Amino acid sequence: MNNKIFFISEVAQGYEGDLHLAKKLIYESSKAGAHIVKFQLVYADEIATKDYTHYNFFRKLELTKKQWQTVVKTAKNLKLKIYFDIFGVKSLNLSEEIGVDGIKIHPTDINNINLIKSVNKSKIKNVILGIGGASLIDIKKAVKILNKNLTVMIGFQSYPTPNKEINLNKLIFLRKILNKKISLGYADHSIKDSASAILPAICLGATFIEKHLTLKSKIALEDSESAIYKNEFKELIKSSKFASEAIGNSKNKLGYFLSKNETKYKKNIQRSLVLNKSLLKNTKIKKNNIFDLKRTSIKNTFSSFNQIKNKVTKYNLKKNTPIEKKHIHE
């Protein structure tokens, strides 16, 4: 199991079409310790028709190519990976042209097969597939098309998502049906206590965690309903590191092994075979019920009856004697 956890600082539409604000959110993401910062690269005409309620707001979110280049450069100068949500071929092509590190296919595009095929043909290697609200059939279709470094990400925005609607068990199910090379992710939109959902998600196999980050301002920024501030983001990452360490790594097919420290612990507390009655020299050991298991400071003792079954004693041995290798014939 790969326990490296990648935190995505989700800006989404929180930059509100303002380059200065976008750069500020990138700086805050860096200070928060995020690994990736993500924006929605919006062109209104890719998302909606002019009669749609939020069409004019989408238009306000549009930045120029030069501005988006500045956004990418700012992130990379701060050693942050940068991803874009794309909503059509135009935003996909610009993402590829200006050298983003990855893209996300929004859950609303899970049925947009032409766009998904275009993503697969692009040079962009890292792709997150959002599956909030998607059926299993839709998920399988999209996954089959995408021959990329793919992350399948659960989670949906419902301002905020009620705890009972999160259903992290989906991660277990997805791990069973998806190729092991496909990563799993969780986009958290809870608000009460993000850690209560994010930490279990990590334990269930999510290696990409997406969480909205916002700024303190007099007027709440777009997409701030389930967003957190820089310091809260820091604490989440700190907690996730502890969770990741606690999960550990499986080194064999059974997924179970003992660490060096655990092996040492076992050796220190292991009980040894101790006689509960005296035995004479040259006695063949046939019965298990002549021994008790007790802790002893003596080394080179036996802990299992099968290790000495049918062996012969070299000496007369008194009751309460821990059985050592020197006490029996090989």
Q: What CATH number should be reported for the domain holding residue 292?
A: 3.90.1210
Distance CA 260, CA 23 (A): 47
Q: Give me the pLDDT at residue 219, please.
A: 63
Choosing from 218, 247, 276, the residue where a domain stops is: 247
Cβ atoms of residues 198 and 186 within 8 Å: yes
The answer to whether residues 227 and 271 belong to one domain is: no
151 occurs within a structural domain: yes
* 233 and 267 together in one domain: no
Cβ pair 174, 155 in contact under 8 A? no
- Give the pLDDT confidence score for residue 255 in this predicted structure: 53
Domain range for residue 183?
6-247
Residues 49 and 156 in one domain: yes
59 and 179 inside one domain: yes
Query: Number of folded domains in the chain?
Result: 2
Residue 252: inside a domain: no
Cα separation, 228 vs 5, whole angstroms: 19
**Other Cβ atoms within 10 Å of 12 Cβ, number:** 23
Residues 179 and 284 both lie in one domain: no
pLDDT at 84 over 80: yes
Residue 117 lies in a domain: yes
Plot region of 4 (φ>0 → left; ψ -120 to 50 → alpha; else → beta): beta
pLDDT in tens, 180-192: 899 999 999 887 6
* Band of residue 159 on the pLDDT scale cut at 50, 70, 90: low
Alpha carbon distance 80, 142 (integer Å): 28
Q: Which long-range contacts (CB under 8 A, 24 or more apart) does 108-117 make?
A: 110/134, 110/138, 110/139, 110/142, 111/138, 113/141, 113/142, 113/145, 115/86, 115/88, 115/89, 116/142, 116/145, 116/146, 117/145
Name the domain boundary from 215, 247, 279. Answer: 247
pLDDT in tens, 211-262: 999 987 656 676 667 788 899 999 889 888 877 777 766 555 445 566 677 6
25 pLDDT above the threshold of 80: yes
**Residue that is last in its domain, among 217, 247, 277:** 247
Kindly indicate the confidence band of residue 284, based on its pLDDT and cuts at 50, 70 and 90. very high
Give the residue from 317, 274, 308, 265 showing the smallest Cα distance to 294.
274
Residues 216, 272 within the same domain? no
Paired with 186 in beta bridges are 154, 209
Instruction: Please name the amino acid found at residue 308.
Output: I
**286 & 319 share domain:** yes
* 230 and 123 together in one domain: yes
pLDDT for the residue 261: 72
**Does 106 share its domain with 197?**
yes
Residue 79 lies in a domain: yes
Q: 157 with 44, same domain?
A: yes
Separation between Cα atoms, residue 190 and residue 156, nearest integer Å: 10
Residues 124, 86 share a domain? yes
Same domain, 31 and 92: yes
Give a yes or no: residue 290 inside a domain.
yes
SS3 content of the chain, % helix, strand, coil (to 5): 40, 20, 40
Cα separation, 232 vs 223, in Å, equals 17
pLDDT at residue 250, rounded to an integer: 54
